[in-house]
Amino acid sequence: MAEQLLETGSAAGRGQILRLEGVRKSYNVGTPIEAEVLHGIDMTLAAGEFVALIGPSGSGKSTLLHLVGLLERPTAGRILIAGKEIARLDEAGMTELRGRTLGFVFQFHHLLPEFTALENVMMPTLIERGRYDQAMRDRAKWLLGRVGLGDAMAKKPSALSGGMQQRVAIARALAVNPPMVLADEPTGNLDSHSADEIFALMREINRDDGTAFLVVTHDARLAGRCDRRVELMDGSVRT
Amino acid sequence: MPFEWVLALRFLREGHMQTALIVAGTTVGVAVIIFISALMNGLQASLAERTLSTQSHITVRAPDEAAMPVLDRAGQAVAAHIEPRVQRLRSIDQWERVFRELPAIPHVVDVSAIATGSGFAYRGNASKSIALIGVDPQRYRRIVKIEDKIKAGAYRIGPGEAMIGIELAHDLGAAVGDRIRVLSSENRDDVFRVTGIFDLGVRDLNRRWVIMPLRSAQSLLDLPGGVTHIDLTVDDIFSAEAVAQQIAARTGLTADSWMAINTQLLTAFKNQTMTTRTVRLFLILIVALGIASVLVVSVVQKQREIGILRAIGASPRRIMKVFLIQGGIVGGAGALMGSGLAALMIYGASFALRQDDGSALISGRIDASYYLSAAAVALLTGLLAAVAPARRAARLDPVEAIRYG
Ligand SMILES: Nc1ncnc2c1ncn2[C@@H]1O[C@H](COP(=O)(O)OP(=O)(O)OP(=O)(O)O)[C@@H](O)[C@H]1O
Ligand SMILES: [Mg+2]
């Protein structure tokens, strides 16, 4: 079944950045309110692919993204990121893999309010390298320039509009130049004009850098502009 | 600067009011801890000093003559009741050897041999019961600072000269230059010219003491070449009891420290020290609770950010470190500023708090160890207070924070 899925991917053969096999997720395991949210998900994401994850509210999109993002562990099934089986990793290994290979963009921006835009963009690299250096500063400035915020680098998030904050978040997700970015409704909180711009920015980065994107969205119009759509329905992939 | 420090400092800086308040609280706590310690020590030192102005730190004398039980052949005590023996006036056996050995004992500073006994002083029709105190004036001045307490005449006793207490001088109607006759308990008598009149601040001593040359006392008390006591001083007055015990063990003589003699004072000191400790303990507890509560609130406020930090690659351990560092910084800043505040308070108190003789109760210069120990305690308290909040931060589920943040 996994092979079939691989063939259906438009970027098949370019190597997989993500592979899910029979992934299940239950909450409150062992209690009377135990509930399975994901019922055996199989899917892949090729390197450099731009995929929309769609589905009605409560279908398990965010849950799936958190599993892929190594923020939670699946109850059953296998998840491979850049060929690495994550079940074998301990907490430290997960943290390291997350820091190196994944960028996150969330619906509610989730920037650190105490830090400037520039410092927010440097944060993942600061975490990775332990202390500030000139190279990370240069890259962060370059990234902010690229998302069109060259003039707002010293501003705190509270001084930026929603669209601008989301641009900072995208720049931050790209800080360590990860092969894959996970975005949970990155435009869900923006007006349609800003949403279009943010979406266009992500596509541009995908095209120029070959960064793979897995983007959760409710917006059918934007989903239509992706390489491929994966639709979730009640915790299963609809084919 | 490492990532954990960057975050800790920024969190503290952005938490203006909370940070300012908790650092202020810690500062006051540290300052009060240092201040009360300094105050208590100043108080005790001044009380001890006052007590010791008329006393040696340690007095060595011949052991009491024990009453021997009367035994029969089987070693059974025959007499049911043993009368304590009357203590004769006795010289310390081979006192010159002991006298030479004493200065070699650690902490011992000055040593003076004394022959003392009781008797009567006469002048005209007046007669008074007195204590004869025969000393080497050059050595004795370093044990009891009578020189500072001379009210008339001078600190000088040559052959045939004596210094007497101010009450005795009054009772006998004697002034400097007058002669008094002294009759000892051994029924020998001698005449002395009064060279100095002293006021030791203790009525009983002012009424009874007659200080005379050692040789005169020896012949009056029928102790040729002998002495009844050896007085000595030590460098640290609170080590006196330990030194006394060491002397007793080494010489087989009886050695009484001022601490053993003034048990009431020592008990008062102990109670004061206990009180100080208790107050200090509660202050530390309050500081710790203050720091912990501020950090717990901060962890709750920053749940969302902790979640983001986890998502972008920070491990739980490093999140924990961020909060431990914050506790350490608050404790450290409080320690620094508290030491400064305490220095100011002590400086102020050195002017404001006076003893009745006008000298300062606590000196403006306080041992650095007070500051260092209080600072170390504050730093440690900050770190320990941060442990619970830091662990809580590390345990936060990033998904919860992101989903519902
Ligand atoms: N910690 C949890 N405990 C119990 N149930 C949970 C937990 N987290 C999520 N769920 C449930 O899992 C299901 C899927 O939630 P999820 O957030 O993944 O959906 P979603 O597709 O992202 O929805 P939306 O479009 O509204 O964001 C929901 O029914 C939700 O109530
Ligand atoms: Mg969701």
Residue A222's domain is classified under what CATH number?
Answer: 3.40.50.300
Average per-residue pLDDT in chain B?
A: 88
For A66, the closest of B2, B309, B399 (CB atoms) is B399
**Residue B85 pLDDT:** 61
Is residue A187 within 8 Å of A198, Cβ to Cβ? yes
Q: How far apart are CA B323 and CA B329, in angstroms?
A: 10
Question: Span B282-304, mean pLDDT?
Answer: 89
Number of domains chain A contains: 1
Per-residue pLDDT, B365:
62
pLDDT greater than 90 at residue B338: yes
pLDDT-derived band of residue A134, with 50, 70 and 90 as boundaries? very high
pLDDT for B136-182, tens place per residue? 999 999 998 888 889 999 999 999 999 999 999 999 999 999 999 99
Structure confidence at residue A109 (pLDDT): 59
Pocket probe mutation, ligand 1, options A34, A53, A61, max atoms within 8 Å of Cβ: A61
Is B41 a residue whose pLDDT tops 90? no
Report the pLDDT averaged over residues B359-383.
79
How much distance in Å is there from the Cα of B302 to the middle of ligand 2? Answer: 21
Please tell me which residue, B73 or B187, carries the higher pLDDT value.
B187
- In this structure, is residue A122 part of a structural domain? yes
pLDDT (0 to 100) of residue B75? 59
On chain B, the residues whose CB falls within 8 A of the CB of A176 are 313
User: What is the reported pLDDT for A1?
Assistant: 37
Res. B135: pLDDT tops 70: yes
Q: What is the predicted pLDDT for the residue at A4?
A: 38
Q: In this predicted structure, what is the pLDDT of residue B386?
A: 92
Q: Is the pLDDT confidence value at B351 over 70? A: yes
Residue A124 resides in a domain: yes
**Whether residue B74 has pLDDT greater than 80:** no
Q: Tell me the Cα Rg of chain A.
A: 18
Is it the case that residue A11 has pLDDT exceeding 60?
no
Share of chain B above pLDDT 90, in %: 52
Provide the residue range defining the domain that includes A230. Answer: 50-71+97-237
Is A36 domain-assigned? Answer: no
Cβ pair B310, A71 in contact under 8 A? yes
Question: Which atom of ligand 1 sits closest to the CA of residue A185?
Answer: 27
> Which residue, judged by its Cα, is nearest atom 30 of ligand 1?
A58
In-domain check, residue A201: yes
CA distance B401 to chain A (A): 10
Nearest residue by C-alpha to atom 16 in ligand 1: A60
Is there a domain that residue A86 lies in?
A: no
Residues within 5 Å of ion ligand 2 by Cβ? A 62
For residues B223-233, average pLDDT: 93
CA of A82 to the centre of ligand 1 (A): 26
- In the 8-state DSSP scheme, what is residue B104? G
Domain ranges, ordered by start, for chain B: 3-50+266-404, 95-252
Task: List the end-to-end C-alpha distance of chain B, in Å, as a whole number.
Answer: 29
pLDDT above 90 (res B360): no
How far apart are alpha carbons B134 and A39 in whole angstroms?
Answer: 106
Show residues of chain A in contact with B14, CB under 8 Å.
113-114
Q: How sure is the predictor about A10, in pLDDT bands with cuts at 50, 70 and 90? A: very low
**Residues of chain A contacting B312 with CB distance shorter than 8 Å:** 98-99, 104, 123-124, 127, 172
Q: Is A60 in the pocket of ligand 1 (CB under 6 A)?
A: yes
Atom of ligand 1 lying closest to residue A56 CA = 25
> pTM of the entire structure?
0.77
- Decide: B343 and B397 in contact? Cβ < 8 Å: no
How many Cα atoms are found within 13 Å in the side-chain-facing hemisphere of B245?
6
